[in-house]
Amino acid sequence: MTPSPLPTRALGSYSGIEVGAIGLGCMGMSWGYGAAERDEERSIAVIRRALELGVTLIDTSDMYGPFKNEQLVGRAIRGRRDQVVIATKFGIMRGDDSSFRGINGRPEYVRACCEASLRRLGVDAIDLYYQHRVDPDVPIEDTVGAMAELVKAGKVRYLGLSEASAATIRRAHAVHPISALQTEYSLWTRDPEDEILPAVRALGIGFVAYSPLGRGFLTGQIKRFDDLAPDDYRRNSPRFQGENFTLNLRLVDRIRHLAAEKALPAAQLAIAWVMAQGEDIVAIPGAKRRQHLEENAAAARIRLSQADLASLAAIAPKDSAIGTRYPQANMRYLNG
């Protein structure tokens, strides 16, 4: 039986972008979670299945791979362009060996990245173009000004920012309307609630929640540090290391037990919580397998009661996760 189409949500109050309430984050198909997990043909099948389900927001970046993920997405959407809202990003520089080379928001870099992404994706225009991280050395007005030129040229339809501070969002929005802000948000990462969500809501900007499953930890499937592949980047994440891992596992166990009481997978409960935080939020969980994609998409139809939300607030209160989101060297680029 074919499931009914996903409910849709608008990205912001004025942009006109309407997408499936849950999107698909494609990073793990090409980068981050270990080479053994990558299978291009399987990933292409997952993306195409997502479109069948009404998952229309497909999220990628030039740094995933690097460069390979945009090519993969381009192959997957060929002949299906009218079914997809493509979101990609620029700004994090990586070498061919995936080594970090810094953050770049210079106007000439913006233009060059856009041209390269268009070629890799095989499209005439990018629907939603994000600055992946704010460059602390380039005024946001200069970066967004260059992005606005891409809109005027018809190469980009809407603009977004990722991991930007409330002050930066306001400055950027004054240069050109920002349609969406993408920032990590989940039961174990709730700092957007302090300033970011109030700011985007005041400006009519949509909110895209990445890592709503806490990089897979909130699924309950990761039980030991050694469950992570030797080349999995999560091994470098403070939340996955040492005593932090053990303490965070207790948090996940509480979420998993509540999900079991509701006869839900823990992943669905975690995504449903994100979706319940506002009709202006679109979550983009990653999935590399059809089973996980379908499970995640089904969370869009789950309605949590006030009692459910109260139970989650009790077992997973704000700031209950132990450890920073990224290694210390990377934290300076968050909420930039």
Cα distances from 231 to residues 34, 219, 234, 237, 330, in angstroms, run 5, 20, 9, 13, 18
Q: Are 128 and 11 in contact (CB under 8 A)?
A: yes
Catalytic site residue from 33, 64, 185, 326: 64
Cα distances from 233 to residues 158, 204, 215, in angstroms, run 31, 34, 10
64 as an active site residue: the answer is yes
User: Which are the catalytic amino acids?
Assistant: 64
